[in-house]
């Protein structure tokens, strides 16, 4: 097998990344990006680091690795009701990278940058003596005062989640090849669906107007619903009881759960959902649901916030409290 010669650092920028650059990127010939924030708007910034073997598998398709990194950041912007304006890319490449790998990586990144209208505006590509790591800092704008904070849930607010919960955590288990009993009994489409949900998060940017209009608080669920919900509620002294049947599950996740009821734990605590959890006043229920429906985004009510210092309580379909060994994903 022949392999293409590897491009130089300057060629990497010129051939792979400059084509993705938005105007603020100054053609990637400067050291910096230059961005004008529209009047009466504020800038929302987020950063996520993804490392090989931790956030993705070394042999994941390079375009999917790129997309996941960008989408994880866009998911944060989505939860804050921000409109993406651009991103910076930090790429630490291990010694064995190839021109083909980088071309596929850049192609995936380009497609997502175009699709989500979030151009590359700067970056840094360096050598890594260890594994591949990727950092993206994404920027978005909100009209002044319109960012949806994490700390803002009020007593009596309805708590909503977008999409479905737990798919990615199950997809990760399938990807690892563990849990043979349920995974081998799973239908092929269900299996493919869960694997895809792990590989490619879907940032819920469509919820922007609904959030700006009606959400008191919001965050994206990246470390598991149980832990992330607890974090959001604790900030304003709130708690909630959630009945498992109210948690939106995909057909594939339902199938897996029927095969192995213990999967409730990874579904609720496994993370990588990149769905949004948010709090809406009871009075705004109909209007919020209408706005979400208008952009074709499923939102499900999972409970009602109430004052309390206790952790959120999850109950199964028979009303029995669920206990988890860990509420959320932790790096350390």
- Cα–Cα distance measured from residue 279 to residue 289, given in angstroms and rounded to the nearest whole number: 12
Residue 15 CB, shortest distance to a copy of itself, in Å, is 13
Burial of 318 (0-12, 13-18, 19+ CB in 10 A): exposed
The footprint of a copy of itself on this chain (CB under 8 A) covers a number of residues equal to 68
Q: What are the distances in angstroms from CA 122 to CA 56, 118, 133?
A: 23, 12, 17
- Cα–Cα distance measured from residue 109 to residue 206, given in angstroms and rounded to the nearest whole number: 20
- Cα–Cα distance measured from residue 239 to residue 229, given in angstroms and rounded to the nearest whole number: 9
Q: By CB under 8 A, what part of segment 134-193 binds a copy of itself?
A: 135, 137, 139, 144, 147, 149-151
Residue 231 CB, shortest distance to a copy of itself, in Å, is 8
The pair of three-digit structure tokens given for residue 323, joined into one six-digit string: 């206990």
Residue 14 CB, shortest distance to a copy of itself, in Å, is 12
Q: Contacting a copy of itself (CB under 8 A), which of 19, 53, 237, 245?
A: 53
The pair of three-digit structure tokens given for residue 183, joined into one six-digit string: 């995974």
Neighbouring C-beta atoms of residue 218, cutoff 10 Å: 25
Q: Contacting a copy of itself (CB under 8 A), which of 21, 65, 74, 89?
A: 89
Q: Contacting a copy of itself (CB under 8 A), which of 29, 115, 283, 294?
A: 29
Q: Are 118 and 23 in contact (CB under 8 A)?
A: no
Residue 197 CB, shortest distance to a copy of itself, in Å, is 21
Classify strands 120-127 and 83-93 as parallel, antiparallel or unpaired.
parallel
Question: CB under 8 A: which stretch of 1-9, 175-183, 291-299, 303-311 binds a copy of itself?
Answer: 1-9
Q: Which is nearer to a copy of itself, 34 or 295 (CB)?
A: 34
Does residue 106 bind a copy of itself (CB under 8 A)? no
**Could you give the 3-state DSSP secondary structure of residue 193?**
helix
Q: Contacting a copy of itself (CB under 8 A), which of 94, 156, 213, 308?
A: 94
Residues within the interface to a copy of itself (CB under 8 A): 6-9, 12, 26, 29-37, 39, 42-55, 76-77, 79-80, 82, 88-94, 121-131, 133, 135, 137, 139, 144, 147, 149-151, 219-220, 235, 330-332
């Amino acid at each position: 097998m022949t392999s293409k010669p590897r491009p130089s650092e300057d060629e990497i920028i010129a051939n792979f990344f400059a084509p993705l650059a938005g105007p603020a990127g100054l053609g990637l010939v400067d050291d910096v990006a230059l961005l004008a924030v529209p009047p009466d708007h504020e800038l929302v910034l987020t950063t996520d680091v993804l490392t090989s073997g931790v956030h993705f598998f070394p042999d994941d398709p390079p375009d999917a690795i790129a997309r996941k990194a960008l989408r994880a950041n866009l998911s944060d912007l989505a939860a804050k009701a921000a409109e993406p304006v651009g991103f910076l890319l930090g790429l630490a490449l291990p010694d064995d990278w190839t021109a083909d790998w980088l071309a596929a990586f850049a192609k995936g990144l380009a497609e997502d940058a175009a699709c989500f209208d979030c151009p590359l505006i700067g970056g840094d590509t360096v050598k890594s003596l260890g594994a591949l790591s990727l950092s993206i800092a994404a920027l978005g704008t909100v009209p002044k005062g319109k960012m949806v904070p994490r700390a803002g849930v009020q007593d009596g607010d309805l708590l909503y989640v977008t999409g479905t919960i737990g798919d990615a955590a199950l997809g990760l288990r399938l990807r690892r090849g563990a849990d043979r009993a349920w995974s081998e009994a799973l239908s092929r489409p269900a299996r493919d669906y869960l694997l895809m949900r792990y590989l490619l998060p879907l940032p819920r940017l469509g919820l922007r107007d609904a959030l700006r209009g009606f959400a008191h608080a919001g965050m994206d669920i990246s470390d598991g619903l149980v832990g992330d919900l607890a974090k959001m509620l604790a900030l304003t002294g709130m708690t909630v009881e959630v009945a498992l049947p109210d948690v939106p599950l995909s057909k594939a996740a339902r199938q897996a759960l029927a095969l192995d009821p213990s999967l409730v734990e990874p579904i609720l605590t496994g993370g990588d959902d990149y769905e949004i959890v948010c709090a809406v006043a009871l009075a705004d229920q109909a209007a919020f649901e209408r706005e979400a429906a208008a952009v074709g985004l499923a939102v499900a009510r999972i409970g009602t916030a109430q004052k309390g210092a206790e952790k959120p309580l999850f109950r199964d379909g028979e009303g029995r409290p669920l206990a988890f060994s860990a509420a959320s994903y932790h790096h350390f």
